[in-house]
Each structure stands twice: as structure tokens, then as C-alpha cells.
């Protein structure tokens, strides 16, 4: 796995896009149907299912029965709310250490501290 943004820096590793939580992103909400063939559902799963489940098998045709049989894995997610303060502390620490956000889409104005919006191999070389 890697968090390398540019494909050319990833090699054969799987990209984990932690920036899906960035302010400019829209992610799929749990139980939302994706606009793809067979209508897969963005479906929460249990940790013990991670190695066995195939996301494309979780379709609009099968998920209702799955919920009836197994229940909602996130049914109690709001029972013990947590503070965002530790996360905000991590963000502040990362920013202080020079870790920047991923490049924003080109339709947005350039953001403060944002890295170049070009792959390293296409970036202008210093003279």
C-alpha cells in the first residue's frame, strides 16, 4: 500500500486515498448506490469480512437481505461519540512538519500550501 498521489510514484502498490476526507471531496455515504454496472452499494462491513468480501458483490439486489441477516455493522456508531480534537492535533502536527494536502482539482483556486498540480515527471525542472 502507498499514499503516493501520483501513479508514477506508486509502482504496483495499492493507493490508499486518505484525502477523500479533504474539504473539496465528496465521498460515498454508507448505503449509497454507486452509478456503476449492477448498482453496487457503498456498504459498511465487519473487520472479519475484509479478506473475504468482494465489493462488487454488494449490490442493490443483495444488500437488503444482507442487512436483514447480519444487521447494520454501524448501528451503534453514534452510541459513543468522540472528540475531533485528537484528529485536529494530528493535522496541525503534520502541517507543522511540512506534510501538505493532496493537489486540489483544477476547477478550484490554488490553495495555500497546496503542492504543484502536476506529476513529478511533468514538473518544470529548476534551472
Percentage with pLDDT > 90 across the chain: 32
Highest mean pLDDT among 19-23, 61-65, 75-79: 61-65
For 79, the grid coordinates are 452510541
Tell me the C-alpha distance between 42 and 58, whole Å. Answer: 8
For 13, the grid coordinates are 502498490
The reported pLDDT for the residue numbered 7 is: 86
Q: What is the residue-averaged pLDDT of the chain?
A: 84
The reported pLDDT for the residue numbered 69 is: 96
> Residue 58, exposed/middle/buried by CB under 10 A (0-12, 13-18, 19+)?
buried
For the chain, which residues make up each domain, given as ranges? 31-73
Tell me the C-alpha distance between 105 and 2, whole Å. Answer: 20
| DSSP code at position 33 | B
Task: Work out the pLDDT band at 24, boundaries 50, 70, 90.
Answer: low
For 28, the grid coordinates are 460515498
The pTM of the full predicted model, rounded to 2 decimals, is: 0.51
Cα Rg, the chain, nearest whole Å: 19
Amino acid at each position: 500500500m502507498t499514499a503516493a498521489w501520483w501513479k508514477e510514484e506508486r509502482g504496483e502498490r495499492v493507493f490508499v486515498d486518505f484525502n477523500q476526507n479533504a474539504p473539496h471531496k465528496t465521498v460515498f455515504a454508507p448505503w449509497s448506490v454507486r452509478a456503476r454496472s449492477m448498482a453496487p452499494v457503498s456498504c459498511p462491513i465487519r473487520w472479519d469480512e475484509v479478506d473475504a468480501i468482494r465489493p462488487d458483490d454488494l449490490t442493490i439486489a443483495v444488500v437488503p437481505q444482507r442487512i436483514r441477516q447480519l444487521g447494520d455493522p454501524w448501528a451503534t456508531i453514534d452510541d459513543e461519540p468522540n472528540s475531533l480534537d485528537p484528529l485536529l492535533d494530528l493535522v496541525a502536527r503534520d502541517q507543522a512538519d511540512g506534510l501538505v494536502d493532496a493537489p486540489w482539482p483544477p476547477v478550484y483556486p490554488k490553495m495555500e500550501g497546496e503542492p504543484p498540480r502536476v506529476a513529478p515527471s511533468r514538473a518544470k525542472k529548476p534551472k
